[in-house]
Every structure is written in structure tokens, then in C-alpha cells.
Amino acid sequence: MIVPQRDNATGIVTIDNEPVIFHCNHYNRVLQLVVEDCHYIKREPILINAAAEVSFRQMRAHFDANPGMNRAARLAYAEEFYRFCGFGDLPIAGIPPLPPEGVFIEEAFSHYGCALRLNYGKRRWAGDYFDLGFAVGVLAAVDGIAVTGQIDQAQSISLGADKSRFHIAPATGDRFPLDTPPIVPVSLPPRADQVPVRTVGLHIDETAIIAAVGTLPLTGDENGMIPAFGVFLTRHYADYYNFVSFRYERALAEALKTHKYLSDVLWFEYPALFYYKDKFSHLKGMELASTLLIEAGHICGFNTMGGIMRSDPWYQLIVPQLRTKEDWISGVVACINALGWGVWRIHEIIPNERLVLRAWHPYESLGHLRLFGEADHPIDYLLTGIGGSLMNLLYSADITTKPDLTLDFYYKVNRSKAGFWGRQTACVAMGDAYSEVVVERNLLSV
């Protein structure tokens, strides 16, 4: 049985000491697309290795804590975990010890496979990278051997097939992912462990809301999927996102050094950037990478937070507590504090004008400190993107009227020149006591 553990003081949720967070299919597909769409970096090592490392680390911790588990029990636990978290139905429980030629695994339901089919245009390659990386990490942890794998390009749910097929085999001349270090505690900046009490929307019972969200059936169904709030959720590894985001940044930085004109053509690599070309024409190079990662947060905020604010539980539990339109943001921040993202606080809200969000124990900053050390620029991209989307949902989309959250409506709301945009003004990964985002209209269009 999978039992997540929540630390009420930090908002961090763990399974086998591994931080896990809720995210939706829209965020998952767009973040992967950020990596895939740049033709000047190697996408597969970033996406597959991140999944293999975090799954190996988590499974190794579980097996070390339960030394009496035999091989069959270890594989069964990994399969149950995958399904519980909403990743799909990867059938790994019956895999024998890997022969030199390897084995094939077929998956009938895949969160990532289905999510990627929502992207624009037709995919040119299979994209079930997380699924493959998870299998690699699990088998390495179970058998204590280096493992490698490939996706069958002719049989992938992400390309429209009924199933995805993976080839998994022992790796020769390599130790991956066996040398993945165990998770270590983060050394926080001064006062970063001092979470303040709320000062906005005090009539809203955040404790009760967090408890209520914890009772919702947000676990994988018979197909290993979590349909909720109009999206498909995953209870995902926090450090999967951190590895992907920050390794992408580093890979792009190296590409910009070696490709002289790449900074000028990134607009045409990324449709999202092209939409923002007029608004952010002054941005170059790595600032464009930040814009893309923030855009993933915009899409998450629009779809997941918007879906929450259109749901029956929202109207049953939270709407009766709301007194003003601005209370909608207080209510959804209470829900956010149940997702494992840390502890968020509204520092200031001026109706239809300005929002200041602060976060303690934000998972991106903690991940950067844990995996890469101190940052030299703000890196809480999800916090920044969500902040912008919350203001756009409330004042541009008027989520109180239950609008349909279509893609066209997203373009109209979030990519409008009159829309809201956030900028990060403090960052735990840079040594600040909290991460802060200031959201205003047209902040970067002048």
C-alpha cells in the first residue's frame, strides 16, 4: 500500500522520503515540449535520465527500508506505485531477471502518451520518455545492475498507437543509474524555515481545505490514470521536474555558446515564443528559456487551477467561505498548499491590478539547492507562471462565471497584451528567506 507522508509545517509530501507533487497532463506535456522543440540540444538524455534517476533513488530507498522484500515483491511495489501516481499501467511485476538480449514491455495506458497527443501538429517520434526512464530506474534498483532501454518508434501511444512498447536490457560499459546518489536534506538560507501565518483571507479555513483535498480520491484508477478537475493528474517526483528544467537550461546555455545565431532563431523554434514575440522582443538567450518554463506554469495554472475553480468540490466547500472576488485567489492558494509545492502566502493583492505571492519551501528552489547548489538567477518558474495565470483567470477570464477552459480561450486570456505577467523578485535558491513573485499587467511589454 502506498501512503504519502505530508509535513504540515513545510507543505512537502513524500513517498519513501522522495518529494512528490501533483501536476496535470498539460504541464507535463508542455514542459516536455520545451525540451523537445529545441533542435540544438539532446532531448532524450534529459527526459529519460531524469525519470531513471528519481525512480531508482526512490525505489532503492524503499527496498533498503524493507530488506525482507523478495524480487517479486519489489517489482509489484514499483508497478503499484506507478499506477497509484497516475502514470499508467506499466506491467513490470512479471519481468524476469534481464537476459543479455533484454525484454520487451507493453503498456496499454500511459499518462504521458495520452498527454502528448494533445500537443499541436503531428509528432515525429515517440515521446513516452518518462515511462521508459521509470522502467530503467526500477529494474536497476531491483537487480542492482546498470540498465538501458529504448521506445519502439513503431508502437507508441504518443504517436496514436493502442499500446507503447519498450525494450529494456542490461547496459554494458556503463553504471547508469547505479551511481545516482541518495536524496539529501537541503541546507536552507537563514530564516527560510520560518513560515509566517496568513494575513489575507483569514475567514477562509485553509486547514480544513487542505484536509478536504487530502481526502479526495486522487489516485490512479484501474488504468493507472487520475481524471480530476477537468484534467489528468499525476502525483509526480518533484525532482523529475527539477532535473528536466534545470538541465534544459544548462543544455541551452551550452548550445548558445556554440551556435552563434541561436539566440535570434529561438523565436522560430518555439511557437509559444513566437506568440510572445512582440511582447518580449527585448529578451535574448537564456531569458527566452525562462519565458518557456514560465509558460509551462501559465498552462498549468490556467488548466489545473481553473479546473479546480470550476469543480463541484470547489463550489461545495470553498465558495460558501468567499466574500469578495479576491477571495477566489485565497481559496485556490489554500488548495495549492495541499499539492506538495511548499507553503504559499498572499502578501498583497490589489483588485485587477497587482498580486504578490510568497512561497516557503518551494519545490523548485529546494530541488535546485539539492541537485545543483545555489542559483545565480531566479528559478521558481512554476510559482511565477501560476501567479500570472491566477490573475488572468480571475480578472481576464472571470473564472467566477465558469467559462470553458479551451485552448483558444487560453490564447485569448494568457497571451493578451493586456494580460498579467509575473516577475520573480526573491528566490530561496539564491539565498532569500522565501521566493516572491510580483504579478502586474503588461509588466514586460514596455
Do 156 and 51 share a domain, yes or no? yes
Do 342 and 435 share a domain, yes or no? yes
Query: How far apart, in whole angstroms, are the C-alpha atoms of residue 373 and residue 369?
Result: 4
pLDDT at 260 over 80: no
What is the per-residue pLDDT for 317?
Answer: 95
**What is the rounded average pLDDT of the residues 287-305?**
89
pLDDT tens-place string over residues 316-359? 999 999 999 999 999 999 999 999 999 999 999 999 999 999 99
Query: How far apart, in whole angstroms, are the C-alpha atoms of residue 108 and residue 90?
Result: 8
pTM of the model as a whole: 0.95
Do 135 and 262 share a domain, yes or no? no
Do 243 and 293 share a domain, yes or no? yes
Going from the C-alpha of 377 to that of each of 249, 301, 431, the distances in angstroms are 11, 23, 11
Do 368 and 433 share a domain, yes or no? yes
Do 371 and 430 share a domain, yes or no? yes
pLDDT tens-place string over residues 121-176? 788 899 999 999 999 999 999 999 999 999 999 999 999 999 999 999 999 889 99
State the residue range of the domain holding 40: 5-170
Do 214 and 102 share a domain, yes or no? no
Closest CA to 35 of 292, 385, 283: 292
Do 161 and 275 share a domain, yes or no? no
Closest CA to 193 of 415, 372, 361: 361
Say which DSSP state 446 is in: -
Which CATH number does the domain housing residue 363 bear?
A: 3.30.1380.20
